[in-house]
């Protein structure tokens, strides 16, 4: 999608701190990190969210990159959280399927205001 921020990052039209990339996915640092490790993994193809008829092979590529990112970020053995926000009620702010890999510190019970 031409106006999608994450599509532009995937196409290298907008700079990002890339942690990992292959033909199908790209992982980059969140610009508003909630923990010392806060990396986003997205498919390069656009899907609005995880419920957007995403083919199983695309989901496999995205979630397959989680372990790679955890290892690269040094949280493979200490633990990390993987989150996918979906829709407005799920607090999805960029409508391009993405997963958050969070770690590097003890996870808080709650991560921010519930408004």
3-state class (DSSP) for residue 59? helix
Contact 40, 27 (CB under 8 A): yes
pTM of the model: 0.92
Q: Which listed residue (38, 95, 96, 98) is catalytic?
A: 98
Tens of pLDDT, residue by residue over 66-95, are 999 999 999 999 999 999 999 999 999 999
Domains of the chain (ranges; CATH) run 5-103 (3.30.428.10)
98 is catalytic: yes
Between the two ends of the chain, the Cα-to-Cα distance in Å is 30
Residue 109 banded pLDDT, cuts 50, 70, 90: confident
Q: Do the Cβ atoms of 37 and 102 come closer than 8 Å?
A: yes
């Amino acid at each position: 999608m031409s106006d999608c921020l994450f599509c532009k990052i995937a196409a290298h039209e907008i700079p990002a701190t890339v942690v990992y990339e292959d033909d199908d996915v790209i992982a980059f640092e969140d610009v508003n990190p909630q923990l010392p490790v806060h990396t986003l993994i997205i498919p390069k193809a656009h899907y609005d969210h995880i419920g957007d008829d995403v083919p199983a092979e695309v989901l496999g590529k995205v979630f397959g990159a989680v372990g790679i990112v955890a290892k690269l970020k040094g949280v493979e053995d200490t633990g990390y959280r993987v989150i996918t926000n979906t829709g407005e009620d799920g607090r999805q702010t960029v409508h391009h399927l993405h997963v958050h890999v969070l770690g590097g510190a003890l996870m808080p019970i709650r991560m921010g205001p519930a408004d």
